[in-house]
Chains A and B, each alone.
Chain A
Amino acid sequence: GAVVSQHPSWVICKSGTSVKIECRSLDFQATTMFWYRQFPKQSLMLMATSNEGSKATYEQGVEKDKFLINHASLTLSTLTVTSAHPEDSSFYICSVIMRSSYNEQFFGPGTRLTVL
């Protein structure tokens, strides 16, 4: 399977600041990465599909100007939460799919964002 890392693992910030979360595929080249958000005691909600070298595809209801996604290389995608507010506090998880493994999904360890 694929090894996926995320950085940071947790972050606390003040309201109005921007936070960047990195997702790295450590052992294979990922043309596609996914970003999910998970509120406490809720399911994973797909936010966007990150495509290397092109614009991300956002799910309905996700503000693309607020959640900026950059997939500049085959091993790195970043999610920037701009002007974060307390309601953005959540667990953000990235994943990659390995087409050679029938589209099996491999998750990063997640980033816990707390906005004060």
Chain B
Amino acid sequence: GENVEQHPSTLSVQEGDSAVIKCTYSDSASNYFPWYKQELGKRPQLIIDIRSNVGEKKDQRIAVTLNKTAKHFSLHITETQPEDSAVYFCAASILGEGTYKYIFGTGTRLKVLA
């Protein structure tokens, strides 16, 4: 079945530095790749997403890149701030039995040090 690997599991950066989180997926038919931010005890929040017909997307300090050939996609956060500290999950959507479903990566705990 589909598998999504995510690295690193933890990441500490100084405020103002950049953070990069990487994911790989196994199902070449996956066509939608969202990234979520989750704070403790809360629901995941979509922060950015990318579709398979696009190689890069940017939204202010957040960007996502996709390499379909290598089945890699990455999240880039620039000028990190303490409020960026949270757990980040990548996901890949696959078509299963008539509807799309989502497989999540294992998560990255980001700490931004002031």
List chain A positions with a Cβ less than 8 A from chain B: 32, 34, 42-46, 49, 51, 57, 60, 91, 93, 97, 102-105, 107-110, 112
Contacts and interface: CB of A to CB of B under 8 A. Distances in A.
A104 B36 CA distance: 12
A95 B72 CA distance: 25
20 contacts: A34-B101, A42-B106, A43-B105, A43-B106, A44-B89, A46-B101, A46-B102, A46-B103, A49-B97, A49-B101, A51-B99, A93-B43, A97-B100, A104-B34, A104-B46, A107-B43, A107-B44, A109-B42, A110-B42, A110-B43
B48 to A, nearest CB: 12
Chain A at the B interface: SS class: strand
Leading 10 A-B pairs by shortest Cβ distance:
A107-B43, A44-B104, A103-B100, A43-B104, A43-B107, A32-B99, A43-B106, A109-B43, A57-B97, A110-B43
Nearest to A110: B43
What interface size band does chain B fall in?
Answer: 20 to 34
Given A46-B103, A108-B43, A112-B41, A102 B97 contact: no
Contacts, number: 51
Given A91-B41, A103-B93, A108-B43, 18 more contacts: A32-B99, A34-B101, A34-B102, A43-B104, A43-B105, A44-B44, A46-B104, A49-B97, A49-B101, A57-B97, A93-B43, A102-B32, A102-B51, A103-B32, A104-B34, A107-B44, A109-B43, A112-B41
A42 B99 contact: no
A43 to B, nearest CB: 5
Contacts of B96: 49, 57
Contacts of A102: 32, 51
A60 B1 contact: yes
B70 to A, nearest CB: 22
B89 A105 contact: no
A102 B44 CA distance: 18
Contacts of A49: 96-97, 99, 101
